[in-house]
């Protein structure tokens, strides 16, 4: 998994239980196990996504864990804008939805350096226990937790020796296309080029900041989309 690739799609939910119910109703499958993120006070469930390239990829359903206090104390924020009142209001009003994506790179520091002028945040070290052992990764998260370009600009991740997909069975879900939308397509495309992402399934178009993903599911082809209320 050395080549840059779509690592995972982020589905945010008001609660994890609501995210699971959404997944079963919308995608026709029940999500597999996930875990807790002590650093951010969140928890998740996961599903493997097949891709045309054969690269490891998954779908993450994530929510704030009401029983957890983030180790990353305030004023530092949770990742993916999950502390933003506007996003939480949108989730309560509209239900779980695609809000972001994460790009896997082999050298996080080098990619962040190549993104000069884009404050994607510092590289943090995180981990969580699993039945198969400890998952460890490095990830770019801003102090304010913000996504950028409405979630179209990816968060960057560099995995350790183990990837979550190593323990995931096939789910019957496949990612057909990921469309990234931004008012400034040049900035977004330059960032993807600097990260050396070359994936014909990724498309960049001009429009209100947001993203959409086309999935093949047991219930047919489905498009998940999101326009961000956060700047």
Q: How confident is the model at residue 142 (pLDDT cuts 50, 70, 90)?
A: very high
Strand-strand pairing, 50-51 and 174-182: parallel
Is pLDDT larger for residue 227 or for residue 101? 101
**pLDDT tier at 1, thresholds 50, 70, 90:** low
Evaluate the CA torsion angle 97, 10, 30, 224 in order and state its sign.
positive
pLDDT at 230: 57
Asked if residues 41 and 70 have their Cβ atoms less than 8 Å apart, the reply is yes
pLDDT digits (tens, 9 = 90+) for 44-99: 999 999 998 889 999 999 999 999 999 988 899 999 999 999 999 999 999 999 99
Residue 130 above 70 pLDDT? yes
Q: Name which CATH class applies to 5-227.
A: alpha beta
Is the pTM higher than 0.85? The answer reads: yes
| Predicted pLDDT at 105 | 96
The secondary structure of residue 143, as a DSSP letter, is T
For 202-230, write each residue's pLDDT tens digit: 999 999 999 999 999 999 999 999 887 65
The residue ranges of every structural domain in the chain are: 5-227
DSSP, residue by residue, 166-209: GGPPP-S-EEEEEEEEES-HHHHHHHHHHTT---TTEEEEESSS
- Contacts of residue 29, defined as CB under 8 A and 6 or more positions apart, other chains included, come to 23, 47, 171, 172, 173, 217, 218
Q: Tell me what pLDDT residue 231 has.
A: 47
pLDDT > 80? residue 132: no
């Amino acid at each position: 998994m050395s080549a840059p690739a779509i690592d995972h799609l982020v589905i945010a939910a008001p609660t994890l239980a609501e995210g699971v119910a959404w997944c079963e109703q919308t995608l026709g499958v029940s999500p597999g196990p996930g875990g807790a993120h002590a650093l951010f006070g969140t928890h998740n469930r996961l599903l493997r996504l097949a891709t045309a390239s054969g690269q490891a990829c998954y779908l993450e359903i994530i929510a704030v864990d009401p029983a957890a206090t983030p180790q990353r104390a305030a004023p530092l924020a949770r990742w993916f804008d999950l502390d933003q009142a506007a996003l939480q209001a949108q989730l309560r009003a509209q239900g779980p939805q695609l809000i972001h994506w994460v790009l896997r790179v082999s050298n996080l520091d080098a990619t962040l350096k190549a993104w000069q002028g884009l404050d994607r945040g510092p590289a943090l070290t995180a981990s969580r226990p699993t039945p198969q052992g400890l998952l460890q990764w490095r990830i770019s998260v801003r102090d304010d937790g913000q996504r950028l370009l409405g979630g179209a600009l990816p968060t960057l991740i560099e995995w350790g020796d183990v990837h979550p997909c190593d323990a995931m069975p096939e789910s019957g879900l496949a990612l057909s296309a990921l469309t990234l939308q931004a008012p400034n397509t040049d900035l977004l495309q330059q960032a993807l080029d600097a990260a050396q992402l070359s994936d014909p399934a990724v498309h960049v178009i001009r429009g209100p900041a947001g993203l959409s993903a086309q999935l093949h599911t047991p219930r047919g082809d489905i498009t998940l989309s999101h326009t961000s209320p956060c700047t």
